[in-house]
Amino acid sequence: AQSVTQLGSHVSVSEGALVLLRCNYSSSVPPYLFWYVQYPNQGLQLLLKYTSAATLVKGINGFEAEFKKSETSFHLTKPSAHMSDAAEYFCAVSSNSGGSNYKLTFGKGTLLTVNP
């Protein structure tokens, strides 16, 4: 079985400050990991993905994440927050363990607020 824990349901930062959203996963096999962003009343947009290549993954809008197997973590960072980054962020894990057909298991989400 696989699971995702996002620490902090709500994170608030000032514009220009570092953004750090935490994600820890559990998986019995090497996982594939993803971060998605959701703006109000919209679908989820893929920010970045880890699929067993480079452990430091760069995504869209200046976000990046680092896969750390020893810590079972995949934290999302951005050096300088913009007002437009305010949204809800979801971490997700996928594998084909037990014939799960690469279904995504999501964390509960972290709402990012950016203060002017």
Partner 1 sequence: SQTIHQWPATLVQPVGSPLSLECTVEGTSNPNLYWYRQAAGRGLQLLFYSVGIGQISSEVPQNLSASRPQDRQFILSSKKLLLSDSGFYLCAWRRGQGSYEQYFGPGTRLTVT
1, 42, 53, 84: which one contacts partner 1 (CB under 8 A)? 42
36 belongs to the binding site for partner 1 (CB under 8 A): yes
26, 28, 51, 61: which one contacts partner 1 (CB under 8 A)? 51
Strands (E), the chain: 3-7, 10-14, 19-26, 32-38, 44-50, 56-58, 64-68, 73-78, 87-94, 104-106, 110-115
Kindly identify the residues of this chain, within the stretch 79-98, that bind partner 1 according to CB under 8 A.
90, 94
CB-nearer residue toward partner 1: 87 or 107: 107
Q: Which of 62-97 are b and which e, b meaning 16 or more Cβ less than 10 Å from the residue's Cβ?
A: ebbbebeeeeebbbbebeebeeebbbbbbbbbbbee
Q: Which of the stretches 12-20, 58-66, 78-86, 106-114 binds partner 1 when contact is defined by CB under 8 A?
A: 106-114
What residues line the site for partner 1 (CB under 8 A)?
32, 34, 36, 41-46, 49, 51, 90, 94, 101-104, 106-109
